[in-house]
A = this chain, B = another copy of it.
Amino acid sequence: MNEREHTRLRDEWSIQEIARLVGTTSRTLRHYDAIGLLAPSRIGSNGYRWYDGPALVRLQRILVLRELGLPLPAIQRALRDEQDAAAALREHLTLLRREQRRLERQAASVERTIAALDSGGRLMAENMFDGFDHTQYKEEVEQRWGADAYASGDAWWRGMTEADREGWTALVAQLGADWSAAAQAGTDPASAQAQALAQRHADWLAGIPGTPGHGTGRPAKEYLLGLGDMYVADPRFAASYGGERGATLVRDALRVWAQAHL
């Protein structure tokens, strides 16, 4: 088969030829046949698949929609009538935008984590369950509440005895476990149970020297609300509070609590 014959125009093509023509593979065409998306126009007595002009056109439409990211079932439906095509694309577009925003948040989160690691953090080496890691959040605390806040909190922690720390750690772990259980049970953020946890959480925070509000018996309102948002946005916190559901519950319960008590 020479070049001339290879590219001469005919009214029927083999599976390889048509695959090359549109830049895909024969495996893909067999797949489309198998799922009923594109059947060959003719099947030889030897089982070979042959495609004609209309089949080629349909294939091209399929590939256009595929390039745009539509799943094959959606392409199937869209090709049944052109009305559906626009609707499917519109729906797909909102999905694309949503996914874009998700990636944006994820990338930002990765960047923060890299920065934390670079500045000496240890990827939850000492976290809520085995000792609250102060260095972990150094940057964020300093940025929001000043270097003094961080330094005094850090000094306080380092000044504790081993027994003190273990007791503190157990408290924190218990709090995290209770939040997790409450989230799992679908507790309402405004419920008495959640508000009791919020109270414990606030007490705990107020007990840490250096946090805004320490000494007044209750944390500063802005600090508490900001902390709640951080819990939800940062997977390092979510891991200690029963995942995203848990972190969301903590934030919402703290909001309600802050409105009532601060």
Q: Which of A41-49, A56-64, A144-152 contacts B (4 or more CB under 8 A)?
A: A56-64
Residues of the B chain whose Cβ atoms lie less than 8 Å from the Cβ of A177: 7, 9, 21
Contact of A63 among B110, B176, B243 (CB under 8 A): B243
Residues of the B chain whose Cβ atoms lie less than 8 Å from the Cβ of A183: 23
Residues of the B chain whose Cβ atoms lie less than 8 Å from the Cβ of A33: none
A184, closest chain B residue (CB): B20
A160 contacts partner chain B, Cβ-Cβ < 8 Å = no
Residues of the B chain whose Cβ atoms lie less than 8 Å from the Cβ of A20: 180-181, 184, 242
Residues of the B chain whose Cβ atoms lie less than 8 Å from the Cβ of A122: 82
**Cα of A177 to Cα of B13 in the assembled complex, Å:** 12
Residues of the B chain whose Cβ atoms lie less than 8 Å from the Cβ of A111: 93
A53 contacts partner chain B, Cβ-Cβ < 8 Å = yes
Residues of the B chain whose Cβ atoms lie less than 8 Å from the Cβ of A100: 100, 103-104, 107
**Cα of A254 to Cα of B97 in the assembled complex, Å:** 34
B238 engages A67 (CB within 8 Å): yes
B57 engages A129 (CB within 8 Å): yes
B90 engages A57 (CB within 8 Å): no
**Cα of A42 to Cα of B59 in the assembled complex, Å:** 56
**Cα of A4 to Cα of B38 in the assembled complex, Å:** 61
Contact of A239 among B53, B60, B89, B107 (CB under 8 A): B60
A117 engages B85 (CB within 8 Å): yes
A6 contacts partner chain B, Cβ-Cβ < 8 Å = yes
Within 117-144 of A, Cβ neighbours of B (below 8 Å) are at 117-118, 122-124, 127, 129-130
Within 87-103 of A, Cβ neighbours of B (below 8 Å) are at 89-90, 92-93, 96-97, 99-100, 103
The contact sample of 10 A-B pairs, CB cut-off 8 A, is A7-B178, A9-B174, A21-B242, A23-B244, A23-B246, A57-B129, A68-B235, A86-B114, A93-B111, A100-B103
Starting from the known contacts A61-B123, A67-B239, A68-B235, 5 additional A-B residue pairs (CB-CB under 8 Å) come to A3-B181, A22-B239, A23-B180, A57-B130, A92-B110
